[in-house]
């Protein structure tokens, strides 16, 4: 069975007072259940708060990026070992905003993925295409290239220790959402590509959809055979909306095909 997973990416949002209310509500509202995983990826300064307020709950927490190096003269950067100090289980790598705004290449993302594994973190690898690339018919080629960089670095075994997230860039923060059929088609392609390297890894790999996921569309998206949960942006900043999305994933555990 692939256990569904919903990850909230706060991006550069939050403050101590608002975070406290959100985290407390999630900790109280998320049931003790093994049916799905609920995760919050907070900005670095608030990881201590997530650890303090979620530590006794079944909601897990993680970070939004990390440096590929373990330590050194890298002003402003954060290592995987630092994230582990704050109890992080997950870390996002290769988000489209990191690729577009900070010039992270496929090779750089692969190095971060490997670094996350070396520190006992579960990396959430983001792949996705722009609107121009989709309209040009290049979606599969783009996501394949992004995925290949990681497969070449850590192999199928390394991929099995992480999570894959398909996030069409044109649907992030725009209010536009890939239709369930569009999202499923790319997820199926990604799983098939992994299967070409290792069928067992492909069958067990959790692949999330990210792109304007809301409570109103979560259930329909999560019902797709190859969609195993969501990577949620803006909606994760509203505890009731995010909790509803997490709850929508619970009945959707899927048998590996």
Q: Which helix H or strand E contains 164, and what residues bound it? A: strand 163-166
Active-site residue, selected from the candidate residues 104, 122, 129, 167: 167
Q: Would you say 55 and 89 are in contact if contact means Cβ atoms under 8 Å apart? A: no
Q: Would you call 104 a catalytic residue per the annotation?
A: no
C-alpha to C-alpha distances, 47 to 30, 53, 168, 204, 242, nearest whole angstrom: 19, 10, 27, 29, 18
Of the candidates 114, 65, 111, which has an alpha carbon nearest to the alpha carbon of residue 88?
Answer: 65
Active-site residue, selected from the candidate residues 95, 122, 129, 187: 95
Q: Would you call 219 a catalytic residue per the annotation?
A: no
Distance, CA of 245 to CA of 96 (rounded, Å): 22
Tokens 């002003």, located at residue: 75
Name residues whose C-beta falls within 8 Å of residue 113's C-beta, 6 or more positions apart in sequence: 93, 94, 123, 125, 150, 153, 154, 158, 162
Residues marked as catalytic: 95, 167
């Amino acid at each position: 069975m692939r256990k569904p997973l919903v990850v909230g990416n706060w991006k550069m949002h939050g403050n101590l007072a608002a975070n406290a209310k959100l985290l407390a509500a999630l900790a109280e509202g998320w049931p003790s259940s093994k049916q799905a995983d609920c995760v919050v990826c907070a900005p670095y300064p608030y990881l201590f708060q997530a650890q303090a307020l979620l530590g006794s709950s079944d909601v897990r927490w993680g970070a939004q990026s990390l440096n590929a190096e373990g330590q050194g003269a890298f002003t402003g950067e954060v290592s995987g070992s630092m994230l582990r100090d704050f109890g992080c289980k997950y870390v996002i790598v290769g988000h489209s905003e990191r690729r577009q705004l900070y010039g992270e290449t496929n090779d750089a993302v692969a190095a971060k993925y490997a670094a996350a594994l070396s520190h006992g973190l579960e990396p959430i690898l983001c792949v996705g295409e722009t609107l121009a690339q989709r309209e040009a018919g290049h979606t599969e080629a783009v996501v394949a290239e992004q995925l290949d960089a990681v497969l070449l670095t850590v192999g199928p075994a390394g991929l099995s220790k992480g999570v894959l997230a398909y996030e069409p860039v044109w649907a992030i923060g725009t209010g536009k959402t890939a239709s369930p059929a569009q999202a499923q088609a790319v997820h199926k392609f990604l799983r098939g590509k992994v299967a070409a390297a290792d069928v067992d890894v492909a069958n067990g790999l959790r692949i999330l959809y990210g792109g304007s996921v809301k409570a109103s569309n979560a259930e329909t998206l999560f019902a797709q055979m190859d969609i195993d949960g969501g990577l949620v942006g803006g909606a994760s900043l509203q505890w009731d909306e995010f909790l509803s999305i997490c709850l929508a994933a619970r009945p959707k555990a899927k048998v590996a095909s």
